[in-house]
Structure 1
């Protein structure tokens, strides 16, 4: 017997799951300390409950995924709308260097994943899901590429991606602080002064100004245009034999629009974009987790732990021997190293959490808080997409996905 959960019912269930996840994270300090998203906690819990109930009663539960697919496009569009070239220039040389280092690491992370997947006798394409798709990319990227992989016949790719994205969040929050702490103590580092912030008075006022209905409607319109134009571009590219994921073309259109808007002095509300980003990510993520097959996620836990140890070792060595040294071997570089560990295994909030822990103990590092969030907010997603397309184009990937 089968039971289908339709759109509005699925939405209600998903929002309840987010609140449940928030409650669990509050009462279990370990989850909160490691920045586990409320949607992940609630989504995994509800997925487990649905799996147990359906197994006990012999039910096959199906979900209406149309809203989730739209939210996927909205999320990546909002990522593109924050990718302003002026911020790249404001970060200066340090931002360019860290971005270059990040691209080098993404390549190594994927190469490691492909080698491990091959050694386990699996499809090399699975290596990308134990690489930057899940770790540097996070849950949203894992689910997005998982949908593309499923179309190509890679079974359980989405569940594999979610597994490693979750492990990555935990490990990224665990190793960042110890790495930076050791670098600071061994090298006798101290804060080296202040760095002027790039925020203007107008931008500070905007941060605390109430969001107007006009700004919200304008943002919704821009997001819809980006998605629609991205779809048209994707159809054109498909007709020429080139296929890109829909979320990627929507993000690229958003990048073009937000930077074009800056040239003509057309203001896009950053707060409205931020709200749309958080809302779409939370609901999209919890919908994906609730609807997945929990049994597929729980399979191969031992293998996942082994692979995770390999990836953690890689980023630890890379952070200490490359990031710290190339960024200047000073206090700011040590703080950036803690943030980089969070970015490479988890997400921007994990990186910021790591840096907060270090600076609250050893002293401020404005430079690190300028550069690392800029790389993590959008540049690393763009770089990740480019490197993933490179790997998928390799002959060993059997045509990719």
Structure 2
């Protein structure tokens, strides 16, 4: 039996998943206690339901996921718009350098671990890399972009392996990011240094309909112009850049140009757009996952991905102590690092938001980490992979 959902129907089901995530966070204390994002948990439950329908009753579902890509690009446009040079300096050179080292070091370590496991187990070294930073730090989009490239180098089924590995990473990025940060906060008795907004301050930043309309139009405009940056970046030889990179860069450019020209913009409304885009994107992405891709995965891929999880947990603890300052802000950034390192920038934001909802605000982690980490990983990771892939192809 075949069921096809059109654009509006697919987005409606995704919106229902978001409502389910909100309800679960309120009713299931375990989710809040362990800092698990509602849309992620609800999206996984939905994907399990659709898996049951597929395997037990032969129901095949076709989704129209164009809105998923739209909300993803809008979200990353908002992330880029958050990269104000003035605000990034708030973190200080040490924090910016620590985030950059944590991301670049993780990308290198992930590939060393993946290739070291893949080759002795008979997997092509490029597929070992695919199960490493390409699909984890890069996400499903980067994996899909590099799949044909790796297959052209002689790595069999690289695209399918990459999508499966990226799916696996997205799932566990949010399932372990919050709990690891929570464990650090509890064990070290860390407390936030930033004050939460009072009720009076919350009322002062209440949203305005006219400002919200203007902000939506601004983000659409910036994202649309960013698409041309994406097309230009894709022309760079030997480098694969996902589409949303242009949206990030466009957001960064416009934010800093507008600040330099003293042009007005409305941050509360833009943050609202970011939250809406993130929640609907996560719901659509996770509910539409074909879990049979994971069920059919080879043992070697599962072993590599399990090793990646162990690696990033150990690396996160190291980074918290030596690169992030060892304080509460650093613990929140640990949640973001695991989100970025296993999933994507969206997972990083979801993880940090879940941690701060339980323990309190962290301006440095919330403002600096998502924007800066996404910029670093989406520049360094494609460059590293593009430059090392030809060498590994000769080895394979």
Instruction: Give the TM-score category using the shorter length.
Output: 0.7 to 0.9
Match of 1:281 among 278, 282, 285: 278
Quote the Cα distance in structure 1 between the aligned partners of 2:29 and 2:298: 24
Structure 2 counterpart of 1:162: 167
Which sections of structure 2, spanning at least 5 residues, go unmatched? 150-157, 340-347
Cα distance change of structure 1 residues 397 and 280 upon mapping to structure 2, 3 Å threshold: farther
Quote the Cα distance in structure 1 between the aligned partners of 2:328 and 2:174: 18
Quote the Cα distance in structure 2 between the aligned partners of 1:275 and 1:373: 14
Match of 1:293 among 274, 290, 293: 290
Q: How do residues 322-333 of structure 1 correspond to structure 2 at under 5 angstroms? A: 323-325=320-322, 333=326
Q: CA deviation at 1:90?
A: 1.8
Residues 130 and 164 in structure 1, CA contact (< 8 A), matched pair in contact too: no
Residues 7 and 64 in structure 1, CA contact (< 8 A), matched pair in contact too: yes
Q: 1:88 and 2:88 equivalent? A: yes
Structure 2 counterpart of 1:265: 262
Residues 338 and 351 in structure 1, CA contact (< 8 A), matched pair in contact too: no
Q: 1:144 and 2:137 equivalent? A: no
Secondary structure in structure 2 of the residue aligned to 1:155: helix
Residues 82 and 378 in structure 1, CA contact (< 8 A), matched pair in contact too: yes
Structure 2 counterpart of 1:371: 364
Residues 146 and 240 in structure 2, CA contact (< 8 A), matched pair in contact too: no
Structure 2 counterpart of 1:385: 378
Quote the Cα distance in structure 2 between the aligned partners of 1:232 and 1:10: 28
Match of 1:228 among 214, 224, 236: 224
TM-score, scaled relative to structure 2: 0.78
Q: Once the two structures are superposed, what CA deviation does each residue of 1:109-155 show, in whole Å capped at 9, x if it has no partner?
A: 433344444454445555566545666x5xxx634334435665510
**What RMSD, in angstroms, separates the aligned Cα atoms of the two structures?**
3.8
Quote the Cα distance in structure 1 between the aligned partners of 2:202 and 2:24: 33
Quote the Cα distance in structure 2 between the aligned partners of 1:63 and 1:322: 40
Which sections of structure 1, spanning at least 5 residues, go unmatched? 361-365
Quote the Cα distance in structure 2 between the aligned partners of 1:288 and 1:39: 10
TM-score, scaled relative to structure 1: 0.77
Residues 164 and 297 in structure 2, CA contact (< 8 A), matched pair in contact too: no
Q: 1:350 and 2:343 equivalent? A: no
Q: 1:253 and 2:250 equivalent? A: yes
Quote the Cα distance in structure 2 between the aligned partners of 1:276 and 1:259: 19
Residues 22 and 38 in structure 1, CA contact (< 8 A), matched pair in contact too: yes
Q: CA deviation at 1:268?
A: 1.9
